[in-house]
Structure 1
Amino acid sequence: MTDEEPADSEPESADSDGPAVELDAVYDAIDAVGRPHLTATELSRKTDLTPDEAREALEALSEEGEIERQNVSEVESVWYPTDVAEVTDRERVVLFPDRREVVVEHPDQFTRAQLSQFARLQDSNRSGGYVYELREADVWAAPHESLDDLLATMRDVLGERSPHLEEWVTSQWERARKFRLYTHEEGYVVLEAESDDLMGNVARQKLDDEYLRAPISDSEAWVNRDATAEIKRTLYEAGYPVRDDRELDEGDALEMDLLLRLRDYQADWVERFTEQGSGVFVGPPGSGKTVAAMGTMAAIGGETLILVPSRELATQWHDELVRHTSLTDDDIGEYHGGAKEIRPVTIATYRTAGMDRHRKLFDQRKWGLIVYDEVHHVPSPIHRRSADLQTKHRLGLTATPTRESDDEEEIFTLVGPPIGTDWGKLFDEGYVAEPEVEIRLVPWGADDERTEYASTSGHDRRQAAANNTGKIEEIRYTLAQHPAAKALVFVEYLDQGDAISEAIDAPFISGETPHARREKLFDEFRRSERDTLVVSRVGDEGIDLPDAELAVVASGLGGSRRQGAQRAGRTMRPAGDARMVILATRGTTEEDFVRRQMRHLASKGIRVNETEAEAVEAPAAED
């Protein structure tokens, strides 16, 4: 080696007695510097090695073919793994504690599932980057039994401890335990504050005599038991979630046995619910929330009111209860537009139960448990009145608590805290099959459609993009790719549904379809007598289609983030491979709508890919 040559221009012998470095240490250092290569000096900074020792270790790995070197004129050589392409796609988690943000590049499913337990997905991009934010409400609603459990999950996914962030999380965790409601030994309801100051400066400032009847002590007050929902909501909005430790009504006795064996996680859900008295089972479709709810009914042993969003779901609940429990048809009543029966177990629609002329009938019954299926309906004004049954055990069921107005805190305030939100664990254990979700960008089917889109605005523009006829050919192509799959094609607009129905020779089910025919077609689909249906929003929720292996969304995700998860949920079953294809017209606002609406799925640990349409060639652009 001459004096003019760089000091590291020739590698030392692989038999050198210098310090060894594992390849994983190089990967970790590369992640730390934030690019797919590094110098010996950078490696030394990330390890306990001196620069010379780091250089010798890199040269040894180079001899073994694990890494390669690139000499750079007048600066230190850089080293990079031989699988550099894979390194650029490696998962990287970067924490910004001051902003309470986590940026993750190429997160795997488990990482996203972990993050969803204490943070909210704020943004994602096509290159695999995800931005999560930790908010007060996320800590308050974290599904952990202790602060130590929450902090352990955070450290695991973040890969480091952040004293600043953990101090803030600890303060929020403690803040959510400053107030509680409990039942006094004489039977009345008491609001208890952690300190005299909190009672005086928060509770008594926010709640007047209508809610706080009389002081019991400087930190306790007798409250109006009929106003507990409003008390909890008011204090939540003031930044103080209230623990509900009241002794809840057990209702008239209900003799009922569950004829199925609960899975371990379902049994855990039931046990946690019976300890709390209220809560929301949050899990993907196919995870068995309905079965767990039946287990809860058996554990509570009180007459039960089940609230559902549709008549179809009421009928489904009736059939499942008869099939899987010791209850008979005589024990179960339905109360909605098609039936008016109140029995020990009554299944009613939210709308009917909230009407003044029916509500008294429900209030007169001594219910021990209220089940709110598809609980994301509860916050909407027309359904909120049914949440006033605060003295009962309250169980919510949902895969998607997200609402457009971001008021999901209403669910946990009026019904209860979340139970069972670790979707990744259910995927890993094989209870639920993770669907392949693909956004497919479709060119215009005709020039005049593109021209019409350009000349419109607002809703008309969105509808023009949704009705792109190029999607029909893509639907045909997709169905032909999966000839043996049972398929659902979702649409938002009736004209589009009719056109697709005619093009692929499959029935179209919409809100205009008579109830009896709708049930007949769904039943034929369940029994595999039909393999394809075109459905409007009536298929978004409350319909049990357990064997759907392919979902094609032709339009409709622009209206609600929840629709994305509901429609993906039609394929999220433990039956094996499943696929969801979302069609969006390329170069339109529909692209942005679809990406935004799929963030909820991504935050729950489901990978969403984006591709180009394969069946349609774009028409030539106009001069």
Structure 2
Amino acid sequence: MGKSLLFDLYDYSMSRTTRLTYDRGTLILHPPPRGKAWIDYATWDDRIEKFRIQALDYRYLIETLQSEDIDLIDSAKEFYPLDIKLQGNKTPYPHQKEALEAWKQAQRQGVVVLPTAAGKTFLAQMAIASTPRTTLIVVPTLDLMHQWYAEIKASFSNIEVGLLGGGSHDRTPILIATYHSAAIHAKTLGNHYGLLIFDECHHLPTDFFQVIAEESIAPYRLGLTATPEREDGGHHYLNRLIGSVIYRKTPEELSGKTLAQHQVISLKVKLKKEEKQRYEQAIKTRNNFLKQNNISLSSLQGWQLFVQASCRSNQGRQAMLAHREAKEISMGTQGKLRLLTELIEKHYPDKILIFTNDNNTVYKISQEYLIPAITYQTPVKERHEILQKYKEGDYKIIVASHVLNEGVDVPSAKIAIILSGTGSTREYIQRLGRILRKANQGEKFAILYEIVAEDTSEEKTSARRKGETNYSVNKPNNNQGEIIFYPQINQGLRAAEPKTTWGEEE
């Protein structure tokens, strides 16, 4: 941009008040204000000869201009206050109060990490009540969308609550949307909501979904999850999109308080002689191929290289088939089924959930034990009917694969049995969470059994899912939860208290 144009713009700006407008997911600042601090957020757009600013930086831009006493006409903001009050007489747990306070101290931006069944939905309702602005709640599945809708509508009966997704296209003061629908409509939603709440926020850092946060001007953001860490490292983007982790509690810290007391019991079974021989031969075939092609399966990239190499030759295809055979042997060994029989006999008629890593084993158990099965292939109406009968006690046991890990309201169980699973810590915590809800059982004691085939790769998989610690925070001495305060949320934002209060309510 030439000097003459800069001078022209400066002279023009001296005669007119700067205006901020929202334009399809970005902000336009024109004429340019005096001072230099705002330029850190701006990019010159030659097409319109004006400065553009990312919608995500709206709050920081406003605070910067206010700190320099620069007059501004804010035509971008279309979110507004709500006259709301949280209905009912539900008393929050101590950890919910602590989490809300930590969020407020972090300028109402950040991620709260709580285990499944620890009351993340009610915490969100507390956040809405304490920050009464138009609110967009984003959830990963249609099931969760309808669950949130029912709870939010009951808690804020005087405010119109709407849905975006599954055939609904509402535009209401409080809107609940799926990640997919919110991403599609991000450019039109972006300036209408002052508070963003991301349920299961570990879904957000993807190329498709992160536009929901990037194209929104919402000054307040709350992320909720049991496990923010992602295997691809994408969780680091949450700092920019929502804010840093400001509060964390583990299942162990809430055991016996908010959550039921629980015990995790690992049981090992030996392969039968012929199973062991087949397993070792399959692993040998696979490993010989990996060695010849200098591939290690210790990383996600290694697995991708294996998949690519397996498509290029008959030897590669045989290696992949051998890999799958080894997994099937370890996951479905007869020793596991015998132990499963013993555990069912021991705990029946307590409610039991059985988890496996593959649908074939689900259907095998369902047929042999006459147990209702739920997989991704189960029709929605049938799945809801099974869960309802399980809730009412007509069914005592359900066997499922990954479909019950997340996004489904599973009635409280007492016993969970993991016959096979992935190395994902998230999956492990989600499955544990299925038995931690107290419901009406004040002295409930839950047990998670993990059955692992001895001397197989399952042992390493089990260790990974129970031993990952991808985050680094200090353990508190007072058992008050891990509260991490980040006053400097955005680089370039000065630590001084901003002049605006953004209408915050206590």
Paired position in structure 1 for 2:426: 562
Corresponding residue for 1:452? Answer: 278
Unaligned runs of 5+ in 1: 1-184, 190-209, 233-241, 606-623
- Runs of 5+ in structure 2 lacking a partner? 1-16, 22-28, 43-51, 67-75, 287-319, 476-506
SS of the aligned residue for 2:398 comes to: strand
- Deviation string 1:57-108 (CA, Å, 9 cap, x unpaired) is xxxxxxxxxxxxxxxxxxxxxxxxxxxxxxxxxxxxxxxxxxxxxxxxxxxx
Q: Counterpart in 2 of 1:310?
A: 141
> How far has the Cα of 1:485 moved from its partner?
2.0
Q: Give the SS at the match of 2:79.
A: coil
What does residue range 141-290 of structure 1 map to in structure 2 within 5 Å?
216-217=35-36, 221-224=39-42, 226-227=53-54, 251-258=79-86, 259=88, 260-275=90-105, 276-290=107-121
Conserved 8 A contact 1:552-1:580:
yes
Aligned: 1:415 with 2:279: no
- Report which structure shows greater RCO (CA 8 Å, sep ≥6): 2
Instruction: Specify whether residues 572 and 230 from structure 1 end up closer, same or farther in structure 2 by C-alpha distance, changes over 3 A only.
Output: same
Task: Give yes or no for contact 1:303–1:344 (8 Å, CA) kept in 2.
Answer: yes
Q: How far off its partner does 1:545 sit?
A: 2.5
SS at 1:598 equivalent: helix
Matched with 1:596 is: 464
Given that 1:565 and 1:600 are in contact with CA atoms closer than 8 Å, whether structure 2 keeps it comes out as no
Preserved contact between residue 201 and residue 228 of structure 2 (Cα < 8 Å)? yes
The whole-number CA distance in structure 1 between the counterparts of 2:19 and 2:245 is: 28
**Residues 230 and 304 of structure 1: CA distance in aligned 2, closer, same or farther (over 3 Å):** closer
Cα separation, 2, equivalents of 1:533 and 1:226? 51
Query: Which of residues 336, 340, 345 in structure 2 aligns to 1:475?
Result: 340
Q: Of the candidates 144, 153, 156, which is equivalent to residue 322 of structure 1?
A: 153
Q: SS of the residue aligned with 2:420?
A: coil
Q: Tell me the equivalent position of 2:183.
A: 354
Q: What is residue 403 of structure 2 aligned with on the other side?
A: 538
The equivalent of 1:73 in structure 2 is: none
Displacement, 1:563?
0.6
Rounded Cα–Cα distance in structure 2 between residues aligned with 1:436 and 1:265: 21
Distance 2:61 2:95 in 1: 24
Would you say 1:587 and 2:455 are equivalent positions?
yes
For residues 547 and 368 of structure 1, what CA distance do their matches in structure 2 show?
A: 35
Deviations 1:175-229 (A, max 9, x none): xxxxxxxxxx97879xxxxxxxxxxxxxxxxxxxx9xx99945x77441374365
1:293 aligns with 2:107: no
Q: Residues 230 and 270 (structure 1 numbering): CA distance in 2 closer, same or farther, change over 3 Å?
A: closer
Which of residues 336, 339, 349 in structure 1 aligns to 2:165? Answer: 336
Take 1:579 and 1:431, find their aligned partners in 2: how far apart are those partners? 16
| Contact 2:354 2:418 (8 Å CA) reproduced | yes
Mapped to 2, the partners of 1:506 and 1:428 lie a distance apart of 30
The match for 1:441 among 258, 262, 268 is 268
Matched with 2:387 is 522
1:373 paired to 2:203: no
Q: CA deviation at 1:561?
A: 2.6
Within 5 Å, which residues of 2 pair with 1:118-133? none
d(CA) in 2 for partners of 1:321 and 1:420?
Answer: 23
- CA separation in 1, counterparts of 2:137 and 2:82? 14
Return the letter of the residue paired with 2:165.
H
Matched, 1:488 2:353: yes
When residues 186 and 293 of structure 1 are mapped into structure 2, their CA distance, relative to the original with a 3 A threshold, is: farther
**TM-score, normalization by structure 2:** 0.67
Q: What's the counterpart of residue 107 of structure 1? A: none
**Are residues 301 and 279 of structure 1, via their aligned partners in 2, closer, same or farther at CA, if it must alter by over 3 Å?**
same
Residue 178 of structure 2 aligns to which amino acid in structure 1?
T
The answer to whether the 8 Å contact 1:280/1:397 transfers is: yes
* Equivalent-residue separation in structure 2 for 1:429 and 1:507 (angstroms): 30
Cα drift, residue 266 of structure 1: 1.7
Q: Give the match's secondary structure for 1:565.
A: helix
Change (3 A) 1:408 1:252: same
Which has the larger Rg?
Answer: 1
Report the equivalent of 2:363: 498
> Which string of whole-angstrom CA distances, capped at 9 and with x for unpartnered residues, describes residues 430-451 of structure 1?
122342112221222x444333
Deviation at 1:379, TM superposition (A): 1.3
Inter-CA distance 526–442: structure 2 relative to 1 (3 Å threshold)? same
> Aligned partner of 2:211: which letter?
R
Report the TM-score when normalising by structure 1. Answer: 0.55
Deviations 1:299-342 (A, max 9, x none): 1112221111111111111222234x1327x8222222354433
The reply to whether residue 400 of structure 1 matches residue 227 of structure 2 is yes
SS at match of 2:364: helix
Whether the 8 Å contact between 2:115 and 2:251 is mirrored in structure 1 is: no
CA distance in 2 between partners of 1:486 and 1:244 (Å): 54
Q: Could you tell me how far 1:261 is from its partner in structure 2? A: 2.8
What RMSD in Å do the two structures reach over aligned CA positions?
A: 3.5
Change (3 A) 1:380 1:450: farther
Q: Are 2:110 and 2:246, in contact at CA under 8 Å, matched by a contact in 1?
A: yes
Distance 1:327 1:339 in 2: 20
The residue identity in structure 1 corresponding to 2:81 is A
Identity %: 26
Q: Separation in 1 of the partners of 2:62 and 2:113?
A: 19
Judge conservation of contact 1:336–1:349 (CA < 8 Å) in 2: yes
Flag the 1:220–1:337 CA change in 2: closer, same or farther, 3 A: closer
Separation of aligned partners in 1, 2:455 and 2:209 = 38
Q: Measure the CA separation in 1 of the matches of 2:374 and 2:168.
A: 23
Q: String of CA shifts for 1:111-130, please: whole Å, max 9, x gaps.
A: xxxxxxxxxxxxxxxxxxxx
**Equivalents in 2 of 1:186, 1:274: separation in Å?**
31
Look up the SS of the partner of 2:228 in the other structure.
coil
Shift of 1:552: 0.9
SS in 1 for 2:175: strand
- Offset, 1:415: 0.8
- After superposing the two structures, state which structure 1 stretch, 261-270 or 590-599, moved more: 261-270
Aligned length: 382
Q: Distance in 2 between matches of 1:472 and 1:290?
A: 37
1:577 to 425, 438, 445: 445
Q: CA deviation at 1:410?
A: 1.4
**1:93 equivalent in structure 2:** none
Task: Write the distance in 2 (CA, Å) between the matches of 1:345 and 1:542.
Answer: 20
Q: State the alpha-carbon separation in 2 of the partners of residues 288 and 313 from structure 1.
A: 14
Indicate conservation of the 8 Å contact 2:413/2:435, yes or no.
yes
